[in-house]
A and B are shown apart, each in its own frame.
Chain A
């Protein structure tokens, strides 16, 4: 048995070498695979020709019922999984048969944080660097563990739970620094990105998203491309009074890093917590993209995707760093599928928008002016106090929410997991009464044109159009993974883990998990030389909270209005966290 297995592995390895000569180490050390956030692996042992034979190699229930959005992290013969709150870290020994748990770490976060987190108690994974494993807890701590033993090396408290702050994002490690950001913009939190010394946990810098330039770390080297983003202390002057002090702009998405340009890239979340009428102005530096130096945190450029955001269009979605042949020239760009519905191609050296093309049905704006960078808003879709606004598309979760895209350098396509939702913003007669149970969320979401709520779109950024798409019943709330075997993996909220052909979207294989999938699939080469694919199932998150949080389907506005459009999810899947690992050989004897 063992002999035949090795024989298969050897043959497939040979095929892999032929398909893609590469130096991929086969590890998956951070949520985005690499600092460019490509989520592309050059492993090709599993490919379009054999993925149909993929078998379950490991299945472990996590014992946690909340939404599992994390990417398993693989380094040094170990796989690390961070669960949703209470953020237990599990380390699986990949060198041993059956991948037994090597150690588990309980950070013991404060239980009261669960009432603060807006959209389920998710965690998006950790990061490995130099023998350490870094992750964030929902109660605002960044923790470093000895990756070999699970022993705590340091922990640093970064935010205040009582003020509505929490942390859900996956850290990025660059130049010996752990880069993290906060969540909680809806509750009047002031957003920030922070760098910690990877060795000691000491805070090296903190860059706020609102306030005077010195707080935002804007100095003499700040060169935003568009005039709308130029000026002194815009983080104060584009707000009424002192509203910037509680103005939101949190940094809860993925962070990318270009070592050649020595720049970090990340997006800032929506402004808050005021209604838009009460915060006239562009509300800098919320709902936009920053490029910063990792050593000092100083801002180099910024571009605001949604000035004076009206619809909760956070700018936090990932920026995938790729080099493109653009109109005859080689350009270093970032690809950013924004919540506002546009796929931005931006020169990542300067912040110039090269193109911005809608990748979903959009009614709230009619395009982006490439001369000024301005989003051309549709005044008919601006919510006004005391009035109902219908057919707001995309809905508040945007054309795409947190769920990360993957880029294949072989197909030159960006694989975008996303949703197709619109909403009505309704003013209800019952309003908020301070100190009584929460009322007053006034959004009601429903499917966009076509009736399908989810999509996997393969996007060609050079042609500025989709190459193909797969329609799904529910929002595609999982991440995507692309490989040199020309296979793209993603999961559905019903619980189907799917492998499709990267070139045409043809379904090649699928596996029904015990719960809906909103996690980030990864792939790695085990110490045994086999290629594995791993993903967490466990429905939840903002989209799936109706299942993981037992929300009442009769409350159309529950879960920030998302429940109205997810009423049939409870009959399609059930809650519960599960780790699945697949390979061509399946479970070892």
Chain B
């Protein structure tokens, strides 16, 4: 029985090797992915496919409600390049980078706030990303609410023509906002494209928000039960971390140290 099982596993592994790497991705969600392959997750996917010696294929769908269900769940693809490491709907690899929500400010504006108690946060027009489900803002949105900062906060719903982070940082660039909280990879990428010199700062979340951290570790996600592919991706990450790091650096992704779960 054991031998038979081993034989089946071997055959399955051979089939995976022969098959293309099928990636589930959003066709318009820079800096992560884009249909023309210009996102950093596209680059990492290519790195994986080349490393595995297989072709790369995509199943494209906007990353809205039902993304996992309609792509991986429908059998259209086998891996999502970027998921939070504790994401429950996929089986996840070891993390390959850690980042944080950051405060973006025009350079030279002022020393960055050290905490959410800084009174300037209440005066500034502060942009935040809105997740767009009931009772849910991004973690900095919750932190601002916790600090009683509500009057001048401007929300950027995730639904919209382009990524909320792009619209938000453009508003900051035009001077329509004084500051913006954005998830690191997006903040780094869109700050680079701005006319003004925009800087990224970490502001620690209020202690009362212990369940709403700003730092997250990002992994790759595969179908629950697909242990074989996860093992191969874990191995890939261990061997090619330096190459992944170079891609992330190309896109200005701010990374934070180990110790992030």
Q: For A433, what are the chain B residues with a Cβ–Cβ distance below 8 Å? A: 84, 183, 216, 218
With contacts A386-B208, A432-B136, A441-B136 known, is A246 near B157, CB below 8 A?
Answer: yes
With contacts A275-B145, A429-B86, A552-B69 known, is A434 near B154, CB below 8 A?
Answer: no
The B59-104 residues at the A interface (CB cut-off 8 A) are: 61-70, 73, 80, 82-84, 86-90
Q: Are A430 and B84 in contact (CB under 8 A)?
A: yes
Q: Are B136 and A273 in contact (CB under 8 A)?
A: yes
Does A267 make an interface contact (CB < 8 A)? Answer: no
The B171-218 residues at the A interface (CB cut-off 8 A) are: 182-183, 185-186, 208-213, 216, 218
The A360-414 residues at the B interface (CB cut-off 8 A) are: 383, 385-386, 396
The answer for the CA separation of A237 and B141 in the assembled complex, in Å, is 21
Q: Are A277 and B132 in contact (CB under 8 A)?
A: no
Give the nearest-CB partner of B136 in chain A.
A440
Main secondary structure of the interface of A (DSSP, over half): loop
Does B164 make an interface contact (CB < 8 A)? Answer: yes
Does B247 make an interface contact (CB < 8 A)? Answer: no
Q: Are B141 and A275 in contact (CB under 8 A)?
A: yes
From A85-93, A110-118, A139-147, A511-519, give the one contacting chain B.
Answer: A110-118
The answer for the CA separation of A272 and B183 in the assembled complex, in Å, is 21
Q: Shortest CB–CB separation between residue A471 and chain B, in angstroms?
A: 28
The B90-133 residues at the A interface (CB cut-off 8 A) are: 90, 129-133
Selected contact of B73 from candidates A429, A431, A438, A552, CB within 8 Å: A552
Q: Are B157 and A187 in contact (CB under 8 A)?
A: yes
The A234-280 residues at the B interface (CB cut-off 8 A) are: 240-243, 246, 270, 272-280
The answer for the CA separation of A294 and B131 in the assembled complex, in Å, is 36
Q: Are A434 and B129 in contact (CB under 8 A)?
A: yes
Does A462 make an interface contact (CB < 8 A)? Answer: no
Q: For B70, what are the chain A residues with a Cβ–Cβ distance below 8 Å? A: 115
The answer for the CA separation of A163 and B216 in the assembled complex, in Å, is 27
Does B43 make an interface contact (CB < 8 A)? Answer: no
Q: For A186, what are the chain B residues with a Cβ–Cβ distance below 8 Å? A: 132-134
Q: Are A432 and B138 in contact (CB under 8 A)?
A: yes
Q: Shortest CB–CB separation between residue B174 and chain A, in angstroms?
A: 16
Q: Are A162 and B132 in contact (CB under 8 A)?
A: no
Does B32 make an interface contact (CB < 8 A)? Answer: yes
The answer for the CA separation of A140 and B80 in the assembled complex, in Å, is 31
With contacts A435-B32, A437-B87 known, is A550 near B132, CB below 8 A?
Answer: no
Does B139 make an interface contact (CB < 8 A)? Answer: yes
Q: For A280, what are the chain B residues with a Cβ–Cβ distance below 8 Å? A: 150
Q: Are A431 and B213 in contact (CB under 8 A)?
A: yes
Does A555 make an interface contact (CB < 8 A)? Answer: yes
Q: Are A435 and B63 in contact (CB under 8 A)?
A: yes
The A541-586 residues at the B interface (CB cut-off 8 A) are: 549-552, 555, 560
Q: Shortest CB–CB separation between residue B226 and chain A, in angstroms?
A: 15
Chain A 420-445 interface 0/1 with B at a Cβ cutoff of 8 Å (1 = within)? 00000101111111111111111100
The A156-177 residues at the B interface (CB cut-off 8 A) are: 162-164
Chain B 133-147 interface 0/1 with A at a Cβ cutoff of 8 Å (1 = within)? 111111101101110
Chain B 143-163 interface 0/1 with A at a Cβ cutoff of 8 Å (1 = within)? 011100011111101111101
Q: Are B150 and A279 in contact (CB under 8 A)?
A: yes
The answer for the CA separation of A487 and B34 in the assembled complex, in Å, is 57
With contacts A241-B152, A386-B142 known, is A436 near B160, CB below 8 A?
Answer: no
The A451-486 residues at the B interface (CB cut-off 8 A) are: none
Does B222 make an interface contact (CB < 8 A)? Answer: no
Q: For A310, what are the chain B residues with a Cβ–Cβ distance below 8 Å? A: 135
Does B48 make an interface contact (CB < 8 A)? Answer: no
The answer for the CA separation of A189 and B209 in the assembled complex, in Å, is 28
Q: Are B183 and A429 in contact (CB under 8 A)?
A: no
Does A337 make an interface contact (CB < 8 A)? Answer: no
> Looking at A187, A274, A428, A434, which has the most chain B CB atoms within 10 Å of its CB?
A434
Q: For B46, what are the chain A residues with a Cβ–Cβ distance below 8 Å? A: none
Selected contact of B61 from candidates A115, A189, A440, CB within 8 Å: A115
With contacts A162-B159, A277-B145, A437-B68 known, is A242 near B209, CB below 8 A?
Answer: no
Q: For B145, what are the chain A residues with a Cβ–Cβ distance below 8 Å? A: 275, 277-278, 385
* CB<8 Å pairs between A and B, sample of 12: A116-B64, A186-B134, A273-B155, A274-B137, A386-B146, A386-B209, A429-B211, A436-B63, A440-B133, A440-B136, A549-B69, A552-B73
Q: Show the binding face of B for A, using Cβ within 8 Å.
A: 26, 29, 32, 61-70, 73, 80, 82-84, 86-90, 129-139, 141-142, 144-146, 150-155, 157-161, 163-165, 182-183, 185-186, 208-213, 216, 218, 221
Q: 6 closest Cβ contacts across the A-B interface?
A: A188-B157, A164-B159, A277-B145, A115-B64, A434-B183, A240-B150
Q: Show the binding face of A for B, using Cβ within 8 Å.
A: 112, 114-116, 118, 162-164, 184, 186-189, 240-243, 246, 270, 272-280, 310, 312, 383, 385-386, 396, 425, 427-443, 549-552, 555, 560
